[in-house]
Structure 1
Amino acid sequence: MKQLEYAAPPPANVDVNAYRSLAALLEDSCRRFADKPAFASMGVTISFHQFEQLTAAFAGYLQNVLRLNKGDRVAVMLPNILQTPVAILGALRAGMTVVNVSPLYTAPELEFQLADAGADTIVVLENFMHTLLQALPGTPVRNVIVTQVGDLFPHPRRELVNFAVRRLGRKVPAWNLPSARRFERAIEEGALYLPADAALTGRDLAFIQYTGGTTGRPKGAMLTHANMVANVQQTAAWIGSRLEEGEETVVTALPLDHLFALTANLLVFLKLGGKNLLIPDPRDLASFVAQLRKNRFTAITGVNTLFRALLDAPGFDAACAANRGNLKLAVAGGMAMQREVAERWQAATGVPIVEGYGLTEAAPIVSANPADSAGFSGTLGWPLPRTEVAILDDAQRPVAPGILGEICVRGPQVMPGYWRAPEETAGAFTADGWLRTGDMGRMDEHGELSFVDRRKDIIVISGLKAYPAEIEEVVRRHPGVKEVGAVGVPDPRSGEAVALFVVKRDPGLEADALRRHCRAYLAPYMQPRHIEFREQLPMSPVGKVLRRMLRDQLRTP
């Protein structure tokens, strides 16, 4: 395959083997930045030195009290609170493999993931114990470690916050599990032991990270310590001198169970000695904006829906004014960014949104626009250091610049395969080792990448291909539309037709007005055959419209 000449290549001399494991990265940063703030939540901050002690205690508890063995799977089902990075890095430090679990999972989803991963232990916020108890009988979990929101807060704030959540907020459904262990007690017991060196290497599994497959149930992407260290190093090289070690604060609103936030926020800023401002519930916009107003922050990551929600939130202008001159970097990933949202963001904050591209199977970051971009480009930028990207046709042959094909990736951050799924693994790679992403895109003659849509979501109408992302972008331009999902539905004449699910911004919006808007901007074959208005659309934890669920709802009588 001919190698493309990149117009703006990132640095190539990145040492992706700088640390033998994420545990080594943790220990190095905690030593270098010991007195610097590491994490802040609800007005409480812990330093890197305190973080080192807490992760050591949790590692000691797993090794010496629970007597887990290297490689045992530890599930973490927590929102963005102080216990989350302690549980994740403490488990890794103990030599365990972490299985991140969304607190928003239903009991069947949770049961499948815990059973498939073979999780032995789970750390869970008590707010979600009622879900876990429904799932538990069908899983191999032996140890349940329960925590409350304020468990790592100092007295008396700990008791006040826990009482407020449990009693005043009524956010903890009743549960009963006598064998459950308390996180606070686990830290106390674990502190009595020095954690043993787990002798981790780059080949050891760090995470089994579940991701939706093209068919069937989610699959667990196996991500090694080498994969994760490589992506941290690649991302830090991409940031370059834009951020200063030991001096930055990043807003972490995306859930840490999502790999974008896990890598870009938790691990990259761990390496940089930065502070993570943890937002437990970004859907509580009043509280979120209040935190932004109180804290000086220099970086923020998000997805299109999060940035848009902030821009629409009362008080965000005041938060921007309070932070004026501090923000250096805003990064979007996880879903396509709308130009209108990006332009509004830059006008409000003075800083552009820098868009990147990645996927769970690549730990996850593959490409990005330059960190010092002056404005929003609408593209996905250039591959990160030591990363190859190719656009292949259906026969897995490279296409010419500008031609649509499947985005395929090679690099040290790419997973070795899916957990206990050899057939899925074989189907994910080409014969010469390219990871098939399932995403359709183009690369220009300078190596700049553009995303079009997911292969599995393409709608085929009388042999012509319609891309839901393009249709949704057009529909969102109507001022009466707040959110939209476009999917294909069976049609006896054309094979498939376009169906729109729309959440109104203007209560008076009618289907005929939306059809007129579509006729002005979309080709005839792409016109929606069905329009349905909804109060809300099914969303992933990071705010992506779940088109699969919309299709399933259409098929269900």
Structure 2
Amino acid sequence: MSQDYEQLPMNWVGDWAGRRAALTPDKPAICDPDAGPPLTYAEMNERADRTGQWLMGALGLKPGERVAVLCRNRLELVDLYLACGKTGVVLAPLSFRLAAPELEDLLARIAPRAFLQEEALDELAEALTLPDSVAHRLRLDDAGGAWQRGPLAAPAKPANRPLAMRDPFLYIHTGGTTGKPKICPISHRQMTWNAIDILATSGGALGPQRELVTFPFFHVGGWNTLTPVYYAGGYSVILRQFDPGRALALISEQGISHFGAVEAMLQMMSAHPDFAAADLRTLEGITTAGASCSETTMRPWVARDIPVAQSYGLTEGGPSNFMLVTDGLDADTVWAQRHSIGQSMFHTDYRITDPEDGAPVKPGDTGVLEVRSPHAFDGYLDDTGRTANVLKPDGWIWTGDLARADAQGRVTLMGRADNVFVSGGENIAPEEVERVLTDYPGVKAAAVAGVADARWGQVPGALVVRTDPGVDARALTEHAEQHLARYKRPRHWRFVDAMPLTGAGKIDRKRVANILKQSE
């Protein structure tokens, strides 16, 4: 009888810690410089087993139940990730950049059984009203004592359960065109195939290396960095929270060979006083993600003989789908391709289609990028409408990004097909910000668009129609601070008598962007 391997429980699924420890137990695996010396794969597996026993025993969590975490990047969060992989408990990391109302909305929809907060984020965590689903709450102190007394005091015996590839592993929230964050259940299939695709496409170069993890673990990009390296037996150094000076120091101290970054990170590092004297001899390459990276940002690194290559992906479709592979290319060739996100990955199909009729466009023409791979998601949590807009019946993921391809299949991003814009690697939906602004007394209407910014790529700008002339930028900024993450708050303001509208009576967003551009 044939088996559906998507649904067949197997012992290795999710057991990243156990399988790698069996193969290379004594190799160094993870270092959290703020927690202590590097740990081997065997030590990480023991920690994962103890944490898994704590999840199943002390907390009584079952496969599919969620544990929500408000925490920066740190060793204990890796323990939890590996333990959830073993037990089938679903990890739901939350962004500490969000405001309390945004986090409460996510928690209500995730309905976690347990909630973990970090001491450094106590003020934000204590402001939250947790849903009734939360039966357990743990505070992770800076010294890690609570983790030692709790999860790491559990029995040191195997916690692994057979899991199926289609079982959920993570709940990752991401921005959306309607403003309300979308929740992507990330399956074990998605994380496994994505790691395979990264390693296959890079020819193994992005596997057994010394990686600096700069992306936050509340983004899939954090786990998408750690997992392939762990899979291949490499060594990962965790940056608790991005700091340009600390990142430069760790490259030298830890012999880092590669790291990923969004454009703003590279700008802050190259502008840091320590950059000129930093020892970067071990650094073999940098991969950018989140949005297109300018040549101005790349140039200080290239000047130090460190190639910078762009990649591309989205939580729904990968999370990695394209990579400019630099292996075997000389510096001049890499620089000539600096604007490209490269070729689609080994196990990823792509097509570029006309936004009006969906037909494929000719090479060189601009259209909407669509991707298809075995690491695509299965749909948003409890949101069939938005799932249908993105995930097509034949497996294609509509990215919403405009792109064009050359005759060799190298793809370059050209912009967004919808209203979402990217600021420092974070998606911002104008409608979400607009709703917050129009809630303020004396504001009749608001329209938000991205305004060019040298550091962040784009930052939000707002066009406002007010009924009370006393409403000013300071008042609206203070209002936004109470309801929106910092990166979503408008930096540019323009007050107008009437909102520009299309013939259909909708906000003319192109004119909004032009007006804001003129007001810089």
> Is the Cα contact below 8 Å between 2:207 and 2:231 reproduced in 1?
no
Q: How does 1:209-288 map to 2 (within 5 A)?
A: 209-242=172-205, 245=208, 248-263=209-224, 265-283=225-243, 285-288=244-247
Unaligned runs of 5+ in 2: 1-7, 435-446, 457-472, 478-484, 498-520
Distance in 2 of aligned mates of 1:207 and 1:498: 31
Q: Which residue matches 2:119?
A: 126
Q: Secondary structure at the match of 1:221?
A: strand
Residue 334 (str. 1) matches residue 297 (str. 2): no
Distance in 2 of aligned mates of 1:432 and 1:358: 19
Q: Secondary structure at the match of 1:360?
A: coil
Superposition deviation, residue 289 in structure 1: 2.9
Superposition deviation, residue 113 in structure 1: 1.3
Distance in 2 of aligned mates of 1:48 and 1:410: 33
Q: Which residue matches 2:344?
A: 383
Q: Secondary structure at the match of 2:298?
A: helix
> Is the Cα contact below 8 Å between 1:238 and 1:384 reproduced in 2?
yes
Equivalent of residue 313 in structure 1, options 272, 291, 308: 272
Q: Which residue matches 1:69?
A: 62
Read off the aligned partner of 1:229 and give its amino acid letter: T
Residue 183 (str. 1) matches residue 143 (str. 2): no
Q: Secondary structure at the match of 1:62?
A: helix
Read off the aligned partner of 1:312 and give its amino acid letter: A
> TM-score w.r.t. structure 1 length?
0.72
- Over 3 Å counting, the alpha-carbon distance change for 1:502 and 1:333 in structure 2 is closer
> Is the Cα contact below 8 Å between 1:261 and 1:301 reproduced in 2?
no
Distance in 2 of aligned mates of 1:206 and 1:556: 48
Q: Which residue matches 1:301?
A: 260
Superposition deviation, residue 425 in structure 1: 0.9
Deviations, residues 440-471 of structure 1 (Å, cap 9, x unaligned):
1112222211111122238xxxxxxxxx89xx
Deviations, residues 89-123 of structure 1 (Å, cap 9, x unaligned):
11221211111212222211211111111111122
Superposition deviation, residue 73 in structure 1: 0.8
Superposition deviation, residue 421 in structure 1: 0.7
Deviations, residues 301-350 of structure 1 (Å, cap 9, x unaligned):
1111111111111112222xx341x22231111121111111221112x1
Residue 28 (str. 1) matches residue 19 (str. 2): yes
Superposition deviation, residue 230 in structure 1: 0.3
Greater helix proportion:
1
Q: Secondary structure at the match of 2:38?
A: strand
Q: Which residue matches 1:351?
A: 306
Superposition deviation, residue 189 in structure 1: 3.4
Deviations, residues 9-58 of structure 1 (Å, cap 9, x unaligned):
xxxxxxxx9x9765233322122221111111225221111110111110
RMSD, matched Cα: 3.4
Distance in 2 of aligned mates of 1:502 and 1:318: 27
Q: How does 1:416-435 map to 2 (within 5 A)?
A: 416-435=378-397
Distance in 1 of aligned mates of 2:164 and 2:251: 39
Distance in 2 of aligned mates of 1:556 and 1:203: 51
Deviations, residues 201-253 of structure 1 (Å, cap 9, x unaligned):
101011111111111301111211011100000001122143573xx211112
> Is the Cα contact below 8 Å between 1:64 and 1:193 reproduced in 2?
no
Q: Secondary structure at the match of 1:437?
A: strand
Equivalent of residue 37 in structure 2, options 15, 38, 44: 44
> Is the Cα contact below 8 Å between 1:20 and 1:225 reproduced in 2?
no
Distance in 2 of aligned mates of 1:330 and 1:453: 23
Q: Secondary structure at the match of 1:294?
A: helix
Count of matched residue positions in the alignment of Structure 1 and Structure 2: 440
Distance in 2 of aligned mates of 1:20 and 1:412: 20
Q: Secondary structure at the match of 2:202?
A: helix
Q: Which residue matches 2:325?
A: 370
> TM-score w.r.t. structure 2 length?
0.77
Distance in 2 of aligned mates of 1:340 and 1:62: 48
Identity level (%)? 23
Read off the aligned partner of 2:153 and give its amino acid letter: E
Distance in 2 of aligned mates of 1:276 and 1:504: 27
Deviations, residues 35-87 of structure 1 (Å, cap 9, x unaligned):
11111122522111111011111000000111111110112222121112111
> Is the Cα contact below 8 Å between 1:71 and 1:205 reproduced in 2?
yes
Distance in 1 of aligned mates of 2:385 and 2:231: 36
> Is the Cα contact below 8 Å between 2:97 and 2:486 reproduced in 1?
no
Superposition deviation, residue 431 in structure 1: 4.3
Q: Which residue matches 1:117?
A: 110
Equivalent of residue 168 in structure 2, options 186, 201, 205: 205
- Over 3 Å counting, the alpha-carbon distance change for 1:383 and 1:144 in structure 2 is same
Q: Which residue matches 2:366?
A: 404
Read off the aligned partner of 2:371 and give its amino acid letter: V
Distance in 1 of aligned mates of 2:448 and 2:128: 38
Superposition deviation, residue 384 in structure 1: 0.6
- Over 3 Å counting, the alpha-carbon distance change for 1:545 and 1:134 in structure 2 is closer
Superposition deviation, residue 139 in structure 1: 5.5
- Over 3 Å counting, the alpha-carbon distance change for 1:92 and 1:555 in structure 2 is farther
Superposition deviation, residue 379 in structure 1: 0.5
- Over 3 Å counting, the alpha-carbon distance change for 1:335 and 1:115 in structure 2 is same
Superposition deviation, residue 499 in structure 1: 7.7
Equivalent of residue 450 in structure 1, options 406, 412, 417: 412
Unaligned runs of 5+ in 1: 1-16, 153-181, 459-467, 473-484, 491-495, 506-531, 537-543
